[in-house]
Amino acid sequence: MSLAPSRQVAERRHEYLPQSETVHKQDSPGRLPVLLEIRGPSSHFLPQRAPPADTSPEQEGVQTRQEELPGLPDLSRFQTQAIGIKLRSGGRGDLANKLDQCHTTYWVQRCCTCQRVESYPNRCEQLYCPMCQPRLRRERLESVSWWAGRLKWPKHLVLTMRNTERLTKATLDGIKRNLAKLRRSKAAKGWRGGLWSLEITNRGHGWHVHLHLLVDARWIDKSAIQTRWAKLLGQDNAIVHVGSRPGTDHRREVSKYVVKGSQLAKWRAAEVVEAVEAIGRQKTFGTFGTLYRQRTQHRDWHDQLAEARATCVCGGTLFKYFSAMEWEWEMMQAERAPPERATRQVTEPDFQF
């Protein structure tokens, strides 16, 4: 028997809340800001108003975009707020404020041709935000799919390094520099091109930083790669995985988040701050070789995709935009019936001659 979303969040609350850490009173005066949907209107749904008797939502053409994550107002919002609490307890209230404002309101787009209506929540666009990650991953998967379609012999390669006690920007910069050196070495001589993504995990044994790659190569010498990669890292040995099984969708591996928001919310406050500060504005995805030389074609494809999304299903390209408050007022005005025109009853006098 499945639990309701709100009950699931309540039962999993202990996984995300700090156990022995305190929140700075300066940032959260006298309250624990872990409440569900308490700020303003719902961030994903248009105001629920009963349609007129002779119409239906389908007839009115109203649609709300909710593709980002089922049950978002419960679990993902709770995870986001838990991350915000831990950032504040670590002295990074400036970063927590961005998460606090994410998905708290919406703006509305109405097609000027067919009057179709869609709503969009505001977003913080942080790579580690649990509420923004589903959309960011969908966009990453679209790009990866485009790039992967240009690989003749795609191979999935995972490059790992030993767990480290500290995670800094230098750690992430170092593994990316080593990747560049590896690509220029003899071990990667047969690599025509490819793409890479960075991922970070922490399962209680230190920070595990690794790279996922899709490499265009007829064959990868795992032993040579493993030896060269270990030397670049300054280690005796290194774990390397190579996969190219038919039917396996390796695109999803390269499309992963740099850090999963659901995992980040479970870490201690000090670990959350450490990870967020290390990620910062880091580049976590890139291309090389033959794919790097196709950046112009990819940009043209991306522009065409954006243009298609900016076109209504009716073909219209002109829209009117409303803030949440403006849309509330627009709906109130639409519900008001036009005033009845006053009519005067004129009685003709009874003329008698």
Angle between helix 93-101 and helix 75-89 axes, rounded to 10 deg: 160
Q: Which is it for the CA torsion 281, 286, 292, 298, positive or negative? A: negative
Per-residue CA distances from 321 to 17, 72, 106, 156, 325 (Å): 38, 24, 11, 44, 12
Q: Tell me what pLDDT residue 53 has.
A: 39
Q: What total of structural domains would you count in the chain?
A: 1
Residue numbers of the domain that contains 120: 5-48+58-297+310-325
Q: What is the pTM of this model?
A: 0.72
**Interval 310-324: pLDDT, tens:** 889 888 889 999 988
Q: Which of 40-44, 295-299, 326-330 has the lowest mean pLDDT?
A: 40-44
Distance CA 314, CA 340 (A): 35
Distance CA 248, CA 245 (A): 6
Q: Which of 161-170, 181-190, 298-307 has the lowest mean pLDDT?
A: 298-307
Q: Is residue 338 part of a domain?
A: no
Q: Is residue 351 part of a domain?
A: no
Structure tokens at 148: 């992967």
pLDDT over 90 (residue 248): no
Q: Is residue 344 part of a domain?
A: no
Mean pLDDT over all residues of the chain? Answer: 79
Q: Is residue 347 part of a domain?
A: no
Q: Is residue 141 part of a domain?
A: yes
**Interval 119-130: pLDDT, tens:** 888 899 898 999
Q: Is residue 81 part of a domain?
A: yes
**Interval 48-62: pLDDT, tens:** 333 333 333 333 333
Q: Is residue 349 part of a domain?
A: no
pLDDT over 60 (residue 181): yes
Number of other residues whose CB lies within 10 A of the CB of residue 82: 24
